[in-house]
């Protein structure tokens, strides 16, 4: 394991998981802690501001509206004690209006940054799997370079319901002529697409695989092979890879069950490069006492070129600021590790079962 500081306004820690060595460069403990603080700061602010909002068990929040579809029996809009809306599906929290921007900015802008760095231009054609609540397209469409977004979500009821009860999520993006919404199965859609159709960036924003068995195929080796078929040399694939727990400032091993047990091994069968980005959420916790769960996204690409994520290339492409105070990769990806190098992704993952973020910590 090799940890390295990257230049930039904030110093970054990147750990490259190699099968050969687990030693980190000296100084990585402080870098790790700095990165951790940077990522936690906005989350702490959110927690302080909303202390009185009654964020306990999401299942105790007040139900404002419910619906169901042929895919999901329980789609609910709940509200916390401060009137903030919370979208839930099958009893699982999907989107809390107070911190969903942390998640969605992380899902889109690092992947787009990676594309710009590799291709030397902003991404134009985007595939978006899932994301029916509309927040994914909202962030994607902020990039002026984007010309064509194909969003395939299986359940239009989620879109309709979100538009009615939480319109801030999509913020008008369903009216943007660049967005084409297809109601259907993302896997079937990609299978039917002519092989030569390649997207600059593909984003897979599906619910956690644990939420439902039918989602398994969307995290499978076959699915990643299919994605790869619709990528060109500079394309980037970004995948929502589930929550991580036990991420602490002292660098204890982060447990990212979905990611480690199934998704990353499957991605590794298809791609040689993958980078995992972690960032904390504010609302993914049952009680203030508990550390929040972290969210993870994995970026897969065909090139092994090392990218300097600390460059804020998004500034040339979008108007205004990102909503997280420390947006984009310099902070949000500062907890990233690269799972292997060259041909070693598979071995790297194997070894990573023992990886503590930051590596040198007990
Ligand atoms: C947008 O992408 C879809 C799906 O690949 C394609 O069918 C359509 O022709 C594209 N439209 C434009 C304007 O490029
Ligand atoms: C929502 O849309 C308005 C008008 O286009 C824009 O000014 C604002 O920045 C958008 N907000 C977000 C969070 O995307």
Q: How far apart are CA 69 and CA 238, in angstroms?
A: 27
With a 6 Å cutoff on the Cβ, whether 320 touches ligand 2 is: yes
Q: Atom 12 of ligand 1 has which residue's CA nearest to it?
A: 148
Q: How far apart are CA 202 and CA 127, in angstroms?
A: 5
With a 6 Å cutoff on the Cβ, whether 168 touches ligand 2 is: no
**Mean pLDDT across 53-59:** 83
* Sign of the torsion formed by the C-alpha atoms of 216, 299, 224 and 190: positive
Counting from 1 in the atom list of ligand 2, the atom nearest the Cα of 139 is: 14
Per-residue DSSP letter, 257 = H
Q: Atom 3 of ligand 2 has which residue's CA nearest to it?
A: 171
- What pLDDT is attached to residue 79? 95
295 token code pair: 């969210």
Examine the pLDDT at 22 and tell me if it is beyond 70.
no
Question: Could you tell me the pTM of the whole model?
Answer: 0.84
pLDDT in tens, 59-70: 889 999 999 999
Pocket perturbation via mutation, ligand 2, pick of 101, 171, 320, 327 by most ligand atoms within 8 A of CB: 171
Q: How far apart are CA 278 and CA 149, in angstroms?
A: 25
Q: How far is the CA of 152 from the centre of ligand 1 (A)?
A: 13
Cβ–Cβ under 8 Å, residues 75 and 66: yes
Examine the pLDDT at 47 and tell me if it is beyond 70.
yes
73 token code pair: 């029996």
With a 6 Å cutoff on the Cβ, whether 91 touches ligand 2 is: no
Q: What percent of the chain is predicted at pLDDT more than 70?
A: 75
Q: How far is the CA of 83 from the centre of ligand 2 (A)?
A: 21
Parallel, antiparallel or unpaired: strands 231-244 and 199-205 = parallel
Q: How far is the CA of 267 from the centre of ligand 1 (A)?
A: 26
Higher pLDDT, 344 or 185: 185
40 token code pair: 């936690």
CA separation, residue 101 to residues 223, 228, 245, 301, 332 (Å): 27, 28, 20, 25, 12
SS (H, E, C) 52-98: HHCCCCHHHCEEEEEECCCCCCCEEEEECCCCCEEEEECCEEEEECC
Question: Residue 280: which of 265, 268, 292, 264 has the closest Cα?
Answer: 292
What is the set of domains in the chain, with CATH numbers?
A: 2-56+97-352 (3.40.50.150)
Ligand nearest to the CA of 101: 2
What confidence tier does 341 reach under pLDDT thresholds 50, 70, 90?
Answer: very low
Ligand nearest to the CA of 190: 1
Ligand 1 cavity residues, CB under 6 Å: 148, 150, 197
- For residues 322-331, one letter each, b for 16 or more C-beta atoms within 10 angstroms of the residue's C-beta and e for the rest, the string is bebebbbbbb
Question: Residue 253: which of 5, 76, 15, 41 has the closest Cα?
Answer: 15
pLDDT in tens, 87-139: 998 888 889 999 999 999 989 998 999 899 999 999 999 999 999 999 999 99
Q: How far is the CA of 148 from the centre of ligand 1 (A)?
A: 6
Angle (CA) 349-351-355 rounded to 5° is 95
Alpha helices in 82-238 (DSSP H): 100-119, 135-140, 156-165, 186-192, 221-229
Q: How far is the CA of 141 from the centre of ligand 1 (A)?
A: 15
339 token code pair: 């799972």
Cβ–Cβ under 8 Å, residues 252 and 361: yes
- What pLDDT is attached to residue 28? 54
User: Within 13 Å and on the Cβ side, how many CA atoms surround 285?
Assistant: 22
Alpha helices in the chain (DSSP H): 28-49, 100-119, 135-140, 156-165, 186-192, 221-229, 257-258, 264-268, 328-332, 345-352
pLDDT in tens, 236-267: 999 998 888 766 676 545 677 788 778 888 88
What residues are annotated to the active site? 205
Q: How far apart are CA 282 and CA 293, in angstroms?
A: 8
């Amino acid at each position: 394991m090799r940890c390295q500081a990257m230049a930039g306004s904030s110093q970054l820690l990147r750990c490259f998981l190699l099968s050969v060595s687990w030693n980190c460069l000296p100084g990585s403990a402080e870098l790790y802690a700095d990165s951790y603080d940077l990522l936690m700061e906005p989350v702490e602010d959110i927690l302080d501001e909303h202390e009185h909002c009654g964020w306990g068990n999401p299942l105790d929040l007040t139900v404002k509206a419910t619906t169901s579809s042929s895919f999901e029996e329980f789609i609910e809009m709940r509200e916390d004690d401060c009137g903030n809306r919370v979208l839930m599906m099958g009893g699982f929290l999907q989107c809390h209006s107070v911190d969903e921007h942390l998640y969605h900015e992380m899902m889109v802008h690092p992947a787009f940054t990676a594309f710009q760095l590799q291709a030397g231009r902003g991404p134009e054609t985007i595939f978006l799997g899932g994301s029916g609540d509309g927040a994914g397209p909202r962030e994607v469409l902020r990039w002026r370079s984007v010309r064509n977004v194909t969003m395939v979500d299986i359940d239009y009821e989620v879109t309709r319901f979100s538009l009615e009860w939480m319109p801030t999520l999509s913020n008008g993006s369903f009216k943007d002529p660049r967005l084409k919404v297809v109601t259907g199965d993302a896997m079937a859609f990609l299978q039917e697409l002519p092989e030569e159709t390649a997207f600059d960036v593909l984003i897979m924003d599906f619910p956690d695989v644990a939420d439902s068995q039918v989602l398994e195929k969307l995290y499978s080796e076959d699915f990643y092979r299919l994605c790869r078929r619709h990528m060109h040399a500079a394309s980037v694939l970004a995948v929502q890879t589930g929550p991580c727990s036990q991420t602490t400032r002292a660098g204890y091993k982060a447990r990212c069950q979905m990611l480690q047990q199934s998704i990353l091994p499957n991605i590794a069968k298809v791609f040689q490069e993958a980078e995992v980005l972690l960032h904390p959420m504010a609302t993914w916790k049952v009680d203030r006492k508990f550390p929040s769960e972290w969210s993870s996204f994995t970026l897969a690409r065909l090139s092994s070129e090392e990218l300097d994520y600390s460059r804020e290339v998004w500034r040339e492409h979008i108007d205004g600021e990102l909503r997280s105070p420390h947006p984009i990769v310099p902070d949000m990806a500062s907890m990233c590790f690269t799972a292997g190098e060259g041909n070693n992704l598979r071995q790297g993952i194997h070894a990573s079962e023992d990886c503590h973020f930051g590596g040198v910590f007990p």
